[in-house]
A and B are shown apart, each in its own frame.
Chain A
Amino acid sequence: MADFQRTMPDAHPHLARRRGFWSYTRLDGILLLLILILCGYGLLVLYSASGGDMDYVIRQAIRMGAGLFIMTVFAQMRPQLFARWAPAMYVVSLGLLLAVLLVGVGAKGAQRWIALPGFRFQPAEVVKLVLPLMVACYLANRPLPPSFRHIVISLILIFLPVVLIMKQPDLGTSLLIAASGIFVLLLSGIYWRYIFGALMVAAAGLPGLWMVMKDYQKQRVLTFLDPESDPLGAGWNIIQSKAAIGSGGIEGKGWMLGTQSQLDFLPESHTDFIIAVLGEELGMIGILVLLLIYLLIISRGLVIAVKAQDSFGRLVAGSVTLTFFVYVFVNIGMVTGILPVVGVPLPLVSYGGTSIVTLMAGFGLLMSVQAHRQMITH
């Protein structure tokens, strides 16, 4: 097998060059291309959503560049390296989350940031990657499907950071992080009876969740259930985003010509609600194009996961890919009014620094798994 692989490229020199190039950079060409298309499309929408402000576009592009750099760096590292460091990073992350609650700085009534001299960052973003790595690392070393005991331990691993982030409070991020951990569990092949059991327990636990939610979170859920109850307050966003998307129709009002977004009726139009700008200006066609790009990225991610040659790689790649989809679904779901408003950005389209870098780093993990496939067999 190894010999065959080593001889094959020589038989086809042009192929060897191509493979050689991508092997050399250790980037996945298909995924990179899709990401670049998505970034370009995202910048196009952002330009309009910011009211034609080039500053926003440049700042976003710089972040994308930084993200691509981190992605490239991550792609160079062997998955085993991540696995080895996962427990340590997990412990450090938990420490940082605790630190946020104690000494963090906040905005809009939530404490999410740690201020270091020169810059500040959100530990929760780091956890988005560390948690799936940790759970995957834990499970990959155990026989799969995992036993009940291992599942419980995995759940505890998930539970700790999620609770800390909910305390900040940051419902959207804690949801994404919980999802990233649970995806590892689901993909690891746990028995269906556990899955259904957990679903039933979750359903029974919903009222409990309501009890621990903060007032503004409850308000969001209530507003989601009936936006018209508070048309000028919390419901305003949803009413306006639905009006924007709906009025766009199939073909849209034209790029830069959306009245809802250009005349400032749409709040958060360049961040969490940016899909409404796309829907208004480029219509259903514009959104379908975006969804197609997302679907292709997800497909490629799952292909990488399936092709990975060890459980750790598979679980990490699968979790990162599916978490990416959760971003897409929750964001579009909330803007179109089928999910409550939680602060989840539209990946690589919404304006905002940390999520872009985290997402790109996630793609770096995928590429690392893809690039270092052969090496496992040594």
Chain B
Amino acid sequence: MSAFDSLKDHTKEGRVFLARSVIAFMVVLLLLGVLIGRLYFLQVVQHDQLAAVSDDNRIQLQPVAPTRGLIYDRNGTLLADNRPSYSVTLLKEKMGDLEATLTELQRLIPITERELKSFRKRLKQRRRPYETVPLRFRLTDDEIARIAVNYQRLPGVQVEADLIRYYPFGASLVHALGYVGRINEKELQRVDAKNYSGTHYIGKLGIERFYEPLLHGQVGYHKVETNARGRVMRVLEQTDPVPGKDIVLHLDIRLQQAAEKLVEGRRASIVAIDPKTGGILALVSNPGYDPNLFVTGISTKAYKALRESPDLPLFNRALRGQYPPGSTIKPMVALGVIDSGAVSPSHTVYDPGFYTLTHGGRRYRDWKRGGHGTVGLDMAIYQSCDVWFYDVANRTGVDIISDYLGRFGFGQVTSLDLPEALPGILPSKAWKRSTGRGSWFSGDTLNLSIGQGWMLTTPLQLATAAAVMANRGVWKQPRMLKGVMTHNQKRDPKVIDGSVVEISGLEGTSAVLPNIELKNEQYWQRIIDAMVAVVHGPRGTARKVGHGLDFQIAGKTGTAQVVGIKQDAVYDAESLAERHRDHALFLAFAPADQPEIAVSVIVENGGGGSSTAAPLAREVINAFMALKKQDAGETEMTGVATDG
């Protein structure tokens, strides 16, 4: 025992310790109470909130992109398909060393510098978490196998299957359909981000762009449980996407191809419209280009080649080619001058081969040297006499002519669903002043009356005007869309719901013109007869094409002096000479009494309208009639077969 022991009071120490222990135990109980109180707060009071936090952690909504609607022609031929395509993608979140992975991948499959560059660009763009970034598209089976074998060594690398757009008719339809491409950031801001959360492609041009809301469909969702690293553990719930609507166009691919063949090797455009519906039967702009190249992204080299080609394949001549219409507008001008009452229908002019506004003034030439002699309205049309038009235009004035031409849709976009269409130019006094070209001269009126000078029209506008003429003033808005396909159980592509689809946001995108009401409705027949004489009359400018038809074509030739379209490149002398030739135009509808097709043809630097453009129009109309007969025969045979 130590020396201190004598000083220690063991009993008292024990008592003090007991007291302290009791206090300590009370403190323990108190603190346990604090913990329990805290647990009560978290697990009972805040339970609902914290349960929500916990659910937000683990439950994610994964968008499932809808399948894009298909595009069919009027007979159910597939024009735009979806095909599976395999691409190799990288997931940043799961990847270790990006550069090492890329090097390794490059060892396995060919990856171009450009693909690497655009991959890096995509990688830098804002993404949703755990969204993969594509590196290369359209993998071959061999490439897929090579990647699959090396999966273990390539964390974050995936081969993903995707449905991508495929255009079986390639360049034939690019100007009619447009194409889809990978959605970019600007477009993402424009669309409903939620509905596009799973979508990688969007309509960039044409029908694909215009009917994007219809074709896209409604996004679906997988409600999934993920772990903290974003890996999907299981699917809790799913809402299937609603596929986009399959749409049917008025287009007849057979007619389109026939028309395209006619202008092979030329810079030309053909537009055919069904006047009864306004439906566009064919829309050819030659040359075209393969839209499939643009779907997953075209290479810089290929794009440069397209852009720099002197034939301007990227240029949609049918919708955006603005040409002087030449004499093709003479029937509309003639209709205007007589219906307005400014000139009598029996008005005749003596044509010495030129026209002067003032005695001894500037001579406005007729295309025919020496002139046509005494010319009336009908002859002025079928012989395309310029002097008669100079004379009546000068008597009528620009205001009336411009007004009547406007009623046929010139100077504005009247088509429903071709967003790239240009309005052309319909000159008037107001137009000339407002564009800073000074005041209107009488000479301008003369030029306008024969479709030269300021006036510019697109092939689509000419075909539209022909259709309105064919309809005797009844307007049917030109359109590509025939309807939406409603599939029956057999998914028979021929079952077509022809009702017009209402899409919000379309109103007001283009002008809807009223029917043309003439003061004297008989003038329609007068003008149409003159147009028939162009083709079938003994002295018509297009009389060469009028033979051997069992129906009548009403038409009008046109030859436009070259103004040139976007020709900033330098060409060699030979091509320069070729490109100085006149544009050949023709505008027609048939059969003249019961019109079923209205056509416009423009061949750039094609020479004369009667020699170059008219035969093409005839062939198109002929092809259309033959197809009609063929279809009718088939239906009859089917009918017989069913009856039998």
- Chain A residues, Cβ within 8 Å of B24: 183, 186-187, 302, 318, 322
Nearest chain A CB to B10 CB, angstrom units: 8
In the complex, A113→B42 CA distance in Å?
A: 37
Q: A245-280 toward B: CB 8 Å interface, digit per residue (1/0)?
A: 111111000000001100111000000000000011
- Chain B residues, Cβ within 8 Å of A338: 34, 38
Q: Which residue from A141, A264, A265, A283 sits with its C-beta under 8 Å from B43?
A: A283
In the complex, A115→B498 CA distance in Å?
A: 85
**A314 touching B17 in the complex, CB below 8 Å, given contacts A239-B53, A260-B54:** yes
Nearest chain B CB to A321 CB, angstrom units: 8
CB contact list, A302-346 vs B, under 8 A:
302, 305-306, 310-311, 314-315, 318, 322, 325, 329, 332-333, 336-338
Which residue on chain B has the smallest CB distance to residue A236? Answer: B228
Residue B118, interface by CB 8 Å: no
Chain B interface mostly = helix
Evaluate contact between B225 and A247: CB separation under 8 angstroms: no
In the complex, A288→B44 CA distance in Å?
A: 14
In the complex, A58→B440 CA distance in Å?
A: 100
Q: Which residue from B7, B35, B46, B57 sits with its C-beta under 8 Å from A260?
A: B57
Evaluate contact between B39 and A263: CB separation under 8 angstroms: no
**A249 touching B4 in the complex, CB below 8 Å, given contacts A186-B20, A265-B57:** no
Residue A109, interface by CB 8 Å: no
In the complex, A338→B33 CA distance in Å?
A: 13
Segment with Cβ contacts to B, from A142-150, A208-216, A355-363: A142-150
- Chain B residues, Cβ within 8 Å of A144: 8, 13, 16
Ordered by A's residue number, 30 sampled pairs between the chains whose C-beta atoms are within 8 Å are: A142-B4, A186-B20, A187-B21, A188-B17, A189-B20, A243-B57, A246-B47, A247-B51, A250-B43, A259-B57, A260-B58, A263-B58, A263-B228, A263-B233, A265-B228, A280-B54, A284-B43, A287-B39, A291-B32, A295-B32, A298-B28, A311-B13, A318-B21, A322-B24, A329-B32, A332-B35, A333-B38, A336-B35, A336-B38, A337-B38
Nearest chain A CB to B458 CB, angstrom units: 57
Residue A242, interface by CB 8 Å: yes
Evaluate contact between A143 and B20: CB separation under 8 angstroms: no
- Chain A residues, Cβ within 8 Å of B21: 187, 302, 305-306, 318
Evaluate contact between B57 and A288: CB separation under 8 angstroms: no
Evaluate contact between A189 and B39: CB separation under 8 angstroms: no
- Residues of A with Cβ closer than 8 Å to B? 141-145, 183, 186-189, 239-240, 242-250, 259-260, 263-265, 279-280, 283-284, 287-288, 291, 295, 298-299, 302, 305-306, 310-311, 314-315, 318, 322, 325, 329, 332-333, 336-338
Q: How large is the interface on B (under 10, 10 to 19, 20 to 34, 35 or more residues)?
A: 35 or more
- Chain B residues, Cβ within 8 Å of A283: 43
Q: Which residue from A143, A145, A314, A336 sits with its C-beta under 8 Å from B42?
A: A336
Q: Which of B4, B47, B233 has the most CB of A within 10 A?
A: B47
- Chain A residues, Cβ within 8 Å of B34: 333, 338
- Chain B residues, Cβ within 8 Å of A329: 31-32, 35
In the complex, A145→B58 CA distance in Å?
A: 58
In the complex, A240→B228 CA distance in Å?
A: 11
**A187 touching B31 in the complex, CB below 8 Å, given contacts A244-B54, A288-B36, A336-B39:** no
Evaluate contact between B17 and A279: CB separation under 8 angstroms: no
Q: Which residue from A188, A264, A333 sits with its C-beta under 8 Å from B229?
A: A264
Evaluate contact between A245 and B43: CB separation under 8 angstroms: yes
Which residue on chain A has the smallest CB distance to residue B34? Answer: A338
Residue B571, interface by CB 8 Å: no
**A291 touching B36 in the complex, CB below 8 Å, given contacts A283-B43, A318-B21:** yes
Q: Which residue from A141, A183, A259 sits with its C-beta under 8 Å from B54?
A: A259
Q: Which residue from A189, A246, A284, A291 sits with its C-beta under 8 Å from B13?
A: A189
CB contact list, B1-52 vs A, under 8 A:
2, 4, 7-10, 13-14, 16-21, 24-25, 28-29, 31-32, 34-36, 38-40, 42-44, 46-47, 49-51
Q: Which residue from B4, B7, B54, B227 sits with its C-beta under 8 Å from A264?
A: B227
In the complex, A284→B41 CA distance in Å?
A: 11
Evaluate contact between B28 and A143: CB separation under 8 angstroms: no
Nearest chain B CB to A39 CB, angstrom units: 21
